[in-house]
């Protein structure tokens, strides 16, 4: 995850909303009451009651292994993600492809098989809140023991646990916006971070969507249906014209091409946040600043109500003030952001002290922080989707074993 740091000065130009977008403009511009509502104090308390750290740990433990792309362990983790979501009744599909990688050593060179995993609930709704993370661990050498517990096994387990806790509500309530989880493969660079050696999975999927006709209207592409506003950035040269290869798409199922409202990418979660000297999440994108503030507000309300686990609260986990350094950190959101998708980059900065070290293992996990992140992100997701957590579902989702 050797992300390059680009220039901090950007010029953002927002043009008016497109009057017509592939015949979907009326649907795309509809304002939903659910997005405007705010969870009550009692509903936030109900969200906290959904936390089950044992359930979370069931999802996390199989991922606490060295899981380099293309390895048997990586395949096992991928299957664990698929099985976990399918056991909840989600639709799960994969975006499988082959790409060239640089020569690292005798063990890692040539081409490699990659596979993005996409889980969707209620995709007939037409639009989705998308939560994403990368699930492979970085390759250093054939003998390296790097596990990547916070990079990014914890983030992946958070997404699955959110799905597990909210699925009963999605089953029984009329939710207009769907929920989609993306587990990207090949986020890490194999040799040196560059436009070609990084973000293999997200680059492939974003390009694939750009090249794929919309299933409801083949006169436009999937990305045309995602973008509400055309916005142009003074993007540094290394972020432009990446030159993705158009790979064989014959095996890709069209079902994964569902319009996104917002893509939230999580990364490097698991170490302590919020204390003096600790890293924290920053608000980088102006176009999604108000939505990011919703996450920060959920955190502040949970803290005020005494619904977070006691922690060193010198600073919030999610920095409330805007930074607006768009493109400052490269991650799996970049290929989508370059194409006009609204994104939030949920990643602590500066990087945690265990970043890319073999000490990034189970011992690096700060469980109080993880418990609180689950409460905050579950609360945000429920609020964004318009879930009513006090309407108790008849049954709880099965726990994947």
The rounded distance, in Å, linking the Cα atoms of 7 and 308 is: 36
Q: Is 331 a catalytic residue?
A: no
Residue tagged active-site, from 58, 136, 187, 261: 187
Is 351 within 8 Å of 268 (Cβ atoms)?
A: yes
- Cα–Cα distances (Å) from 170 to 55, 83, 178, 279, 374, in that order, read 19, 19, 9, 34, 18
Q: Is 228 exposed, middle or buried (0-12, 13-18, 19+ CB in 10 A)?
A: middle
Residue tagged active-site, from 58, 136, 244, 267: 267
Q: Is 188 a catalytic residue?
A: no
CB neighbour burial string for 123-148, b if at least 16 within 10 angstroms, e if fewer: bebbbbbbbbbbbbbbbbeeeeebbb
Q: Please report, to the nearest 10 degrees, the dihedral formed by the alpha carbons of residues 62, 66, 69, 73 taken in order.
A: -50
**Which of the 8 DSSP states describes residue 400?**
P
The rounded distance, in Å, linking the Cα atoms of 8 and 381 is: 30
Structure token digits, residue 131:
């939560």
Contacts of 75 (CB under 8 A, 6+ apart): none
Is 197 within 8 Å of 101 (Cβ atoms)?
A: yes
CB neighbour burial string for 186-208, b if at least 16 within 10 angstroms, e if fewer: bbbbbbebebbbbbbbbbbbbbb
Backbone phi, psi, residue 114, to 5°: -120, 160
The rounded distance, in Å, linking the Cα atoms of 70 and 261 is: 31
> Which residues are catalytic, by number?
187, 267
């Amino acid at each position: 995850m050797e992300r390059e740091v680009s220039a901090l000065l950007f010029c953002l130009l927002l043009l008016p909303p497109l009057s017509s977008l592939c015949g979907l403009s009326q649907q795309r511009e509809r304002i939903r009451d659910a997005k405007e509502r705010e969870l009550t104090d009692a509903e936030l308390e109900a969200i906290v009651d959904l936390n089950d750290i044992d359930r979370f740990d069931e999802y996390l433990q199989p991922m606490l292994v060295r899981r380099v792309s293309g390895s048997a362990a990586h395949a096992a983790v991928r299957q664990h993600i698929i099985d976990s979501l399918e056991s909840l009744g989600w639709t799960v599909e994969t975006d499988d492809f082959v790409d060239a990688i640089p020569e690292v050593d005798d063990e890692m060179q040539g081409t490699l098989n990659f596979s993005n995993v996409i889980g969707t609930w209620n995709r007939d709704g037409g639009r989705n809140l998308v939560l994403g993370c990368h699930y492979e661990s970085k390759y250093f050498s054939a003998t390296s023991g790097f596990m990547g517990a916070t990079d990014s096994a914890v983030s992946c387990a958070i997404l699955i646990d959110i799905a597990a806790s909210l699925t009963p509500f999605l089953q029984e309530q009329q939710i207009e916006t769907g929920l989609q989880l993306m587990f990207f493969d090949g986020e890490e660079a194999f040799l040196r971070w560059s436009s070609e050696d990084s973000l293999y999975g997200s680059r492939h999927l974003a390009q694939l969507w750009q090249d794929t006709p919309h299933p409801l209207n083949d006169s436009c592409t999937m990305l045309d249906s995602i973008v509400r506003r055309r916005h142009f950035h003074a993007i540094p040269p290394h972020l432009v014209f990446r030159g993705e290869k158009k790979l064989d798409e014959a095996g890709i199922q069209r079902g994964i091409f569902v319009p996104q409202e917002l893509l939230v990418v999580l990364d490097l979660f698991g170490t302590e946040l919020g204390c003096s000297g600790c890293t924290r999440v920053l608000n980088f994108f102006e176009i999604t600043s108000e939505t990011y503030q919703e996450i920060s507000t959920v955190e502040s309300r949970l803290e005020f109500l005494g619904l977070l686990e006691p922690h060193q609260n010198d600073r919030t986990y999610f920095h409330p003030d805007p930074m607006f350094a768009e493109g400052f950190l490269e991650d799996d959101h970049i290929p989508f952001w370059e194409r006009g998708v609204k994104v939030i980059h949920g990643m602590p900065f500066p990087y945690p002290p265990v970043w890319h070290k073999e000490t990034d293992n189970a011992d690096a996990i700060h469980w109080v922080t993880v418990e609180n992140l689950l409460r905050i992100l579950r609360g945000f997701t429920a609020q964004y989707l318009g879930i009513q957590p006090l309407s108790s579902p008849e049954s709880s989702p099965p726990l994947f074993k």
